[in-house]
Structure 1
Amino acid sequence: MSVTLNGQLLGRTHYATRAVLERELTALGLTFAQSLLLTAVAAAHGPIPGDQAVRRLVDGLKVDLATARGVLAELVDAALVSADADRVTITERGRSVQSRAAAAGAAIGARLWTDLSVDDVAATARVLETVRQRAEAALAAH
């Protein structure tokens, strides 16, 4: 079977793998966007400016600022992060949920990538990173 590497294949792959992950996230009470923002706040290992947290979601998902701020508000309402004086901090509950989400993501990745050769995975990563950088440059140029 011949496969053409193009945007459609990349998109279908993204949506298929994301759907697998979203099943796990839904069981944890998270959306995909919430999980990304929660992970960004957890990775900071301490309070971070709210604008910085929101910007990570804007840049990562290519959503507008209002949408990203809404996701942050959802995390605050769910007591997964706290926000005060323009600083965002992950709560103990948030760290627990984020840890379970990360474990689910790692398990999914292990299942989906397990029998691929190290060389194939490395080549794929290099190609995808190059395409991502080019797309980011194209977005920045407009």
Structure 2
Amino acid sequence: MTTSVPPVNGQVIGLAHYASRAALERVLARSGTTFEQSVALRAVSDNGGTAERARVVGRLTGALKIEEPAALRTVDELTALKLLEEPAPGQVSLTDGGLELFASIRTAGDEIAARVYAGIPAEDLATAGRVLALVTERAEAELAGS
């Protein structure tokens, strides 16, 4: 029995994304965290634990292709949940609770990724990364042009 390899297209890429995201969503559901909230926490964490609010909103709108009001609501939700705080006007920082939650999400996500990518040669992953980066760049150009 042989397995046919599908051509790479948006459907194949989307199926891989949604399968991986569904695995992460199960982890997020245990903590009552939405995917959008996890992306916002990552944006703050990636910036050293404090970020300009506009930068976090921009990361949400840019990465998730959501509207600005939805991104603002996500940041407001995290602030109301005391996972983010506003140390200065226009800035948000992870609270101890936010840091702890994000660390647990990151650990679980890393464990999922380790299982999902196990056994795939590094060269194949590097090639896939280059191809997907190019596809993303071209799709972003399409969005900008429309």
Report if TM-score (shorter chain) is over 0.5. yes
2:97 match: 93
Bigger shift: 26-35 or 63-72?
26-35
**Superposition deviation, residue 46 in structure 1:** 4.4
Amino acid at match of 1:77: A
1:117 match: 121
Deviation per CA, 1:7-35: give whole Å up to 9, x if none: 11111111111000100111122111100
Match of 2:25, SS state, is: helix
Higher relative contact order (CA 8 A, sep 6+): 1
Cα RMSD after superposing both structures: 1.1
TM, length-normalised to structure 2? 0.93
- Could you list the runs of 5+ residues in structure 2 that have no partner in the other structure? none
**Superposition deviation, residue 2 in structure 1:** 3.3
- Could you list the runs of 5+ residues in structure 1 that have no partner in the other structure? none
1:82 match: 85
- After TM superposition, the structure 1 = structure 2 runs for residues 48-67 of structure 1, keeping only pairs within 5 Å, are 48-67=51-70
- After TM superposition, the structure 1 = structure 2 runs for residues 39-54 of structure 1, keeping only pairs within 5 Å, are 39-54=42-57
Q: How many residue pairs end up in the alignment?
A: 142
Match of 1:75, SS state, is: helix
- Is contact 1:28-1:101 (8 Å) kept? no
Instruction: Choose which of 18, 27, 39 in structure 2 pairs with 1:36.
Output: 39
TM, length-normalised to structure 1? 0.95
Amino acid at match of 1:35: S
Q: State the distance in 2 between where 1:121 and 1:50 align.
A: 33
Instruction: Choose which of 102, 106, 115 in structure 2 pairs with 1:102.
Output: 106
Q: Which runs of 4+ in 1 moved over 4 A?
A: none
